[in-house]
Structure 1
Amino acid sequence: MYQDILVPTDGSDGTRQSLTHGLTIADRFDATVHALSIVPEGPLGTLQTDEAIPAAERAVERVEAEAKREGVDAATAVERGVPHEEILEYADEHEIDMIVMGTQGRTGLDRVLVGSVTERIVRMADVPVVTVRLNDEIRIEDADEAARIARKTAEREGYDEVTVLEDPHRTSASWIVPLETDAGPVHIHVDAVTSEARIARGPETE
């Protein structure tokens, strides 16, 4: 179901957390992790210091090294531009199946920027977006509870004859619940912190 997973990174604690999440999903589905670092640019050029590009390169190299240790295939890229635009463009060009992002970056302004970028990606992306929080308390720790929420979500969306295909699995702050329905298999993502659930992908997009 997932063959290519995009993990935008700036090398911060927040994006390292999302990397762990992305690698877990990639390992389960035998997928490739794409590490993408964006050097923000405006009309007058790079918005950061001369160290921005080397820092971005180090960030994706760390992802590649971590993926190698975990036995996961990895691809890396560094782009310049408006972060959310570059992420969406990369996802489209490389046929990405899922985007995994942190909700916090470094400190100060970067925390605001990363949160803003993630919000835009969630609203605009055509593929599932999994967000990873640093410090939120996990409320849904039971697989049966995640499955119950997933079934209710599928039924609310109009699916019938809903059954759980296999045990739900949690990666960081989300549960992924595979379901069988009258219309075919679907995956439901259940936020382990907020209990919010959404259909990651239906049979029509397989």
Structure 2
Amino acid sequence: MKQYHQIQIAVDGSKEAELAFQKAIEVAERNNATLEILHVIDTKSFQNVSSFDSDMVEQVANDTKEKLEKYYEVAQNAGIKEVHFSIEFGSPKAIIAQQFPKEHQIDLIILGSTGLNAVERMLIGSVTDYVTRTAPCDVLVCRSTRPTRI
């Protein structure tokens, strides 16, 4: 059985991401792996705001950092020896699937299943679908309904 060393968990605050985070802790624990917690702030979402200003971006980043610090604490309390978190700005698809894994030598990406319905997936595609098709490493998509630690 393959042992993973660098595990990336992509979180976005959704229920699916929470469940995937729980699974990531378990997998990291079993493999004695480093856990890289990643959140990508989609910069396209700011293009639709007419009164865009840097204070809004800073507030979103600060809120995200607070959430990631909670994830970090939960992972450490679960016994994960090496945990890091990152906030990236840009396209979630490209960053989660390719940029971050290459920069951090990720050998397993864990993420939650999509919350989009069939029509939305067909029209715009999901991050999960894109990652599973294009990532340079193994991808684990979590569909579990177990309770989370957060």
TM-score range, shorter chain: 0.7 to 0.9
- Contact conserved, 1:34 with 1:75, CA < 8 A, in 2? yes
Unaligned runs of 5+ in 2: 146-150
Q: In 1, distance between residues paired with 2:132 and 2:66? A: 26
Partner of 1:66, secondary structure, is helix
Which residue in the other structure is 1:62 paired with? 70
CA contact (8 A) 1:11 1:56 kept: no
Q: CA deviation at 1:63?
A: 1.6
| Structure-1 residue corresponding to 2:79 | 71
Cα distance in 2 for residues equivalent to 1:27 and 1:9:
18
Query: Which of residues 117, 123, 131 in structure 1 aligns to 2:141?
Result: 131
Q: Are the equivalent residues in 1 in contact too, given 2:111–2:142 (CA < 8 A)?
A: yes
Which of 83, 89, 96 matches 2:106?
Answer: 96
For 1:118-160, what per-residue CA distance to the aligned partner results, in whole angstroms no more than 9, with x for missing partners?
A: 100000001000001155xxxxxxxxxxxxxxxxxxxxxxxxx
2:10 alignment partner AA: P
Any conservation in 2 of the 1:39–1:79 contact (CA below 8 Å)?
yes
Q: What is the Cα-based RMSD across aligned positions, in Å? A: 2.7
SS in 1 for 2:13: coil
Q: Distance in 1 between matches of 2:91 and 2:137?
A: 19
Q: Which runs of 5+ in 1 are unaligned?
A: 136-206
1:14/1:55 Cα in 2 relative to 1: closer, same or farther (>3 Å)? Answer: farther
Call closer, same or farther: CA 1:17–1:32 in 2, change over 3 Å.
same
- Any idea what SS the aligned residue of 1:129 has? strand
Aligned residue number for residue 178 of structure 1: none
Match of residue 11, structure 2, among 9, 12, 15: 9
**What is the letter of the counterpart of residue 76 of structure 2?**
K
The 8 Å contact of residues 41 and 47 in structure 1, kept in 2 or not, is answered as no
For residues 96-118 of structure 1, the C-alpha deviation after alignment (integer angstroms, 9 at most, x for no partner) is 0100000145x99xx97xx7001
Task: Give the CA deviation at 1:47.
Answer: 5.9
Structure 1 residues 45 and 23: alpha-carbon distance in aligned structure 2, compared to 1, 3 A threshold = same
Aligned twin of 1:186 = none
Q: Is the 8 A contact 2:114 2:126 kept in 1?
A: no
TM-score by length of 2: 0.76
1:48-104 Cα shifts (integer Å, max 9, x gaps): 893432232123212201111111021110000000111120111100010000014
Could you tell me how far apart the structure 1 residues matched to 2:33 and 2:130 are?
A: 25
More helix as a share of residues: 2
The whole-number CA distance in structure 2 between the counterparts of 1:103 and 1:47 is: 26
Sequence identity percentage: 25
The alpha-carbon deviation at position 10 of structure 1 amounts to 1.4
Decide whether the 8 Å contact of 2:108 with 2:137 is kept in 1.
Answer: yes
1:99 is paired with a residue whose SS is strand
Residue matched to 2:28: 26
Point out which structure has higher relative CO (alpha carbons under 8 A, 6+ apart). Answer: 2
Going by fraction, where is strand more abundant, 1 or 2? 1
Partner of 1:81: 90
